[in-house]
Amino acid sequence: MADLVGNLLVAQSGGPTCVINSSLAGVIKEAGKHEVIEEIYGGANGILGILNEELIDINDERSKTIEGLRSTPAAALGTCRYKVDFKKKPEKAAKDMDRLFEVFQAHNIRYFFYIGGNDSQDTSHKIHEEAVKRAYDIRVIGVPKTIDNDLPHTDNCPGYGSVIKYNATTVMEVGIDVASMATDDGSCCIIEAMGRSAGWIAAGTVLAKRGVPANPPHIILLPEFPFEEEKFLAKVKETVDAYKYCIVVVGEGIKYPNGEEVGADKARLDSFGHPVLAGAAEKLKQIVQGKLNTKTRTVLLGYAQRAAEHCASLTDANNAFACGEAAVRAAVEGQSGLMVKIVREAQSNGSVKWSTGLQPLADIANVEHFIPREWVSEDGFLPNEKFVEYARPLIEGEVKVPMEAGLPKYTTLDQNRVAKTLPPRA
């Protein structure tokens, strides 16, 4: 394979995580080792910024800043939810593709790395195919990222280990708080976790049990299982009777057997006439208080859970960094159209050896990976020891965040823009 000399473009996409910047740091650090890579650019706000020729010059950033990215949450380059949608908007997508390659050409981009989830891997795949079609010499490698942990073929997705470490910690802390207040009246606390269709995030809080059945969480409601109110209430009652309190974790996307979201309140419409999404935890609280008359409080972690760098998993951050490095190595070696994946190798001493592999993007795009049914208890209320065996190694180790005056010290890029050479996007 002949050396491909040119510039590198890396971008971040979709919802941020605690470790999406670790992957970025991995790409940048590895890129610095290869002479074939001339300039290192970042796309501002993902593909959206690239379409607008908004490129960030990373060459000027100090190495201390790059190292700081390894303990900084959110997307340092900015991110977007923009989708190049060939299925629903083929004309617009084709126009976007033309523009992307204009930008690539104008800035001699020969290496492209897109750090993201399902949609982003799909975009990377399309760009790779398009490059082949156009005979434009570029190497495209996808870097996995999503707290949802729903990408196939990779053992886990960077971002997932950190979100479940923080959420499990929170469940432990809320659990002993509620337990210490528990009197004969009984009480319930419902913690809502992200995850609209796959329950990986909610499931991960089972680690807070640390193998002790009496420990919280007592019930985990996964979006994969239809929500049955009577069964749920019986389980809450049984738990409160046994322990005087009950901690429930609910994946935000749980649905009634008829497919309707539990969090949607059909009785109230917003100013556009859409049902108000009050949230699953809020709705469950009303159900528990109304039907069992048990005092109930809620916790809605929302964005806090994916941004909680102060409680991030070192294993997760290291894997994310390794994915960034591996992407660059693969590209320099001549590969394209692949996504880096994380590979687990169980050791005889019970620990895990992590490495990376490569998977064709064609195998990834738009395939959603769900929790195996046999990893969840028969009644569907708790992931079992198979799940725990899978998830436990992902939360090991703590990212050391530098502190200043009692608060984390996070890094920002200077975000110096590369001079535009093209007319504005039409």
Catalytic positions: 148
CB of 85 to its own copies, least distance (A): 17
Write the DSSP symbol of residue 74.
S
CB of 174 to its own copies, least distance (A): 5
Alpha helices of 200-298 — where are they, by DSSP H?
200-204, 229-243, 280-292
Beta carbon nearer to its own copies, 19 or 326 = 19
Instruction: Assess contact for 19 and 13: CB atoms under 8 A.
Output: no
Residue 217: cis peptide before it, omega within 30 degrees of 0: yes
Question: In angstroms, rounded to a whole number, what is the distance separating the alpha carbons of residues 124 and 116?
Answer: 10
Question: In angstroms, rounded to a whole number, what is the distance separating the alpha carbons of residues 108 and 114?
Answer: 17
> Measured between alpha carbons, how far is residue 296 from residues 24, 179, 263, 292 in Å?
42, 13, 16, 10
Beta carbon nearer to its own copies, 37 or 58 = 58
Q: Is 342 helix (H, G, I), strand (E, B) or coil?
A: strand
List the one residue out of 156, 148, 159 whose CA is nearest residue 22.
Answer: 159
Alpha helices of 60-199 — where are they, by DSSP H?
63-68, 90-106, 118-134, 160-181
List the one residue out of 209, 257, 205, 208 whose CA is nearest residue 230.
Answer: 257
Beta carbon nearer to its own copies, 363 or 398 = 398
Write the DSSP symbol of residue 397.
S
Q: Is 245 helix (H, G, I), strand (E, B) or coil?
A: strand
CB of 295 to its own copies, least distance (A): 10
Beta carbon nearer to its own copies, 152 or 275 = 275
CB of 253 to its own copies, least distance (A): 15
Count other C-beta atoms under 10 Å from residue 211's C-beta: 10
Beta carbon nearer to its own copies, 225 or 232 = 232
Beta carbon nearer to its own copies, 185 or 379 = 185
3-state helix, strand, coil split of the chain in percent (to 5) is: 40, 20, 40
CB of 210 to its own copies, least distance (A): 7
Beta carbon nearer to its own copies, 94 or 276 = 276
Instruction: Assess contact for 332 and 31: CB atoms under 8 A.
Output: no
